[in-house]
Amino acid sequence: MDDFESPALGLDLPEPPPPAGSAAYRVLARKYRPQTFSELIGQDAMVKTLGNAIARGRIAHAFLLTGVRGVGKTSTARLIAKALNCIGPDGTGGPTIDPCNMCEPCRAIAEGRHIDVIEMDAASHTGVDDVREIIEAVRYASVSARYKIYIIDEVHMLSKNAFNALLKTLEEPPEHVKFLFATTEVNKVPVTVLSRCQRFDLRRIPAEKLAEHFAHVAGLEQVRVEPEAVAMIARAAEGSARDGLSILDQAIAHGGGDVTAEQVRDMLGLADRGRIRRLLDLVLAGDATQALAELDEAHDLGIDPAGLLRGLMESLHSVTRTKAGAPADALSSAEQRQSAEELAQRLGWGQIHRLWQMLLKGLQDVQVAPDPQEAATMSLLRLIHAADLPDPATLMRKLTADAAGGTASPAERAQPGVSTAISKLPNDFKALIAAIEGSGKHLLAQQLHDHVGLVQFAPPELILKPMRPLGPDFARDLAAAMQGATATKWQVSLSDGPSEPSLLDQEKMAEERARDSVLADPNVKAVLEAFPDASLESYISGAA
């Protein structure tokens, strides 16, 4: 939430007076910028730490504030500047976590005109010369404030030379100087700088707190906003108070004073929750015709295809949380919670994970496709044809139950597409390796083929002798892979006793025997004697 900045100096200046005869309007993001720490939402841990540090006189000489956009980094920096320089209404106060906002330093800092609080935008002042000006200026005492404070926004934009020039001053600044750095990309700040700062990671603001804040702002603005509209704005803000207030500002203008969920949905190009639920039900029911009709209708209404897929992913995520027993989203309606509970009982974990992965792939396709609507259509069709397929674990349990003459559970019998074919455990070690290969565990299959000798094969028990180092978790990983491939729990152990050669060695020995047999053939011997420089390069088994 950055105030107006001079493009030439990078300093926050007082707002210019409005033109004569016009009323000044301040956007909500600036009008409701926090003026006290109590108004800073979602950062209680940081406020508590700062309060304790100020109360005990343990104030660091440099602070680094990091977090996503719009969580209050610059606002916090200004609040710290006020807290350190506040003198109270009577002019006798000291540093406090509750600045009075009445004394001259508090008012001047809030208005961006205090001569001892210097704000610099590192994005437009990246060079060493800009930092050199700071280094020269810090030697001089503050003009009127208790501390001379430098607020450098987006500090990660400084050049390497600029950081290096700042290091010494940053490590041992004069007692009257404090540095406040703000950045959205802390990973780009050199470690040498990080080690000289007290770091605060500002949290992404929870959606429910944003919704409360936006509802409060709407009340102060005397604007009627539907609760669902507030929830939609809070979700769209993605943890940023500034972004959410900007959306609310736009929604107020869009609605002419009143803000409804329908208006916000149209403004943001979102699909309503009812449409998302209907579409998800159609996908799970395998109704391609109606699902595509719903998709076409959403397209005609101007709903972004990517937004539609994100809505499906959000609904599926709610189902996942419900199935795992996690608390429901505080902003979700009773209908949404009921739908999530129904689907959580209806869908297995395998189906949920498969649908999620396919939606994620579909979203990526939509974002790169020349025609997003066509990509969304193909993604929905893939979902429809995959929605009723059983997951591999359910299929293997069914096959094993049928092979044993048993019966599957009601949930497994309800799974469409489950074959009733008879299956049984592998007959030999080679068949076991083939089953593991078929389940996708290619590395394990290769290790079994090349690097182990068979000691005992007695399903469901397997004893192997490693011919090469295989890692400490080999037996555990192999047992898990065998259970997944055969739907049977195996006991796997490793031994140093006598064993068969590895299958790879057996194949090599068989090849050598076959080669020796060919070379022993009288006709081959005659050819080799007639042509001494000739050699056997290859042969065809069984050739006459």
Residue boundaries of the structural domains of the chain: 28-201, 207-268, 273-387, 391-424, 429-494
User: What does the pLDDT read at residue 327?
Assistant: 78
Instruction: Specify the range with the lowest mean pLDDT, choosing from 83-97, 361-375, 524-538.
Output: 524-538
- Asked if residue 412 has pLDDT above 70, the reply is no
Asked if residue 397 has pLDDT above 90, the reply is no
471: left (phi over 0), alpha (psi -120 to 50) or beta: left
CA distance 449 to 430: 8
- The whole-number average pLDDT for the span 468-487 is 86
Confidence of residue 416 (pLDDT cuts 50, 70, 90): very low
- pLDDT, tens digit, 9 for 90 and up, residues 88-139: 998 888 899 999 989 999 999 988 889 999 998 888 888 888 888 888 888 8
Residue 324 has pLDDT above 80, yes or no: yes
Long-range (24+ apart) CB contacts under 8 A made by 526-531 are: none
Over the stretch 172-218, which tens digit does the pLDDT of each residue have? 888 899 999 999 999 999 999 999 899 999 888 888 889 999 999 99
pLDDT at 86: 92
Average pLDDT over residues 398-412: 53
Q: Does domain 273-387 have CATH number 3.40.50.300?
A: no
User: What CA–CA distances, in Å, run from 49 to 76, 79, 101?
Assistant: 13, 14, 21
- Point out the least confidently predicted range of 182-186, 291-295, 406-410, 530-534: 406-410
Instruction: Say whether 200 sits in a helix, a strand or coil.
Output: strand
Give the model confidence (pLDDT) of 367-377 as tens digits: 999 999 999 99
Count the residues in the chain.
544
Confidence of residue 464 (pLDDT cuts 50, 70, 90): very high
Query: What is d(CA 62, CA 177) in angstroms, rounded to the nearest whole number?
Result: 9
Percentage of residues in the chain with pLDDT exceeding 90? 19
pLDDT at res. 538? 66
Three-state SS across 253-308? Answer: HHHCCCECHHHHHHHHCCCCHHHHHHHHHHHHHCCHHHHHHHHHHHHHCCCCHHHH
For the segment 229-248, what is each residue's pLDDT rounded down to a tens digit? 898 888 888 888 888 899 89
pLDDT, tens only, 33-43 = 888 888 888 88
* pLDDT level of residue 5 (50, 70, 90 thresholds): very low
Looking at CATH, the fold of the domain delimited by 207-268 is given as Helicase, Ruva Protein; domain 3 (1.10.8)
Mean of per-residue pLDDT scores for the chain: 82
The model's pTM is 0.57
Which residues fall within 8 angstroms of residue 20, CB to CB, at 6 or more apart?
none
Whether 474 and 447 have beta carbons less than 8 Å apart is answered as yes
Answer with the residue of higher pLDDT: 213 or 386: 213
Model confidence band, residue 3 (pLDDT cutoffs 50, 70, 90): very low
Q: Does domain 28-201 have CATH number 3.40.718.10?
A: no
pLDDT at 387: 63
Of 336, 271, 261, whose CA–CA distance to 301 is shortest? 271
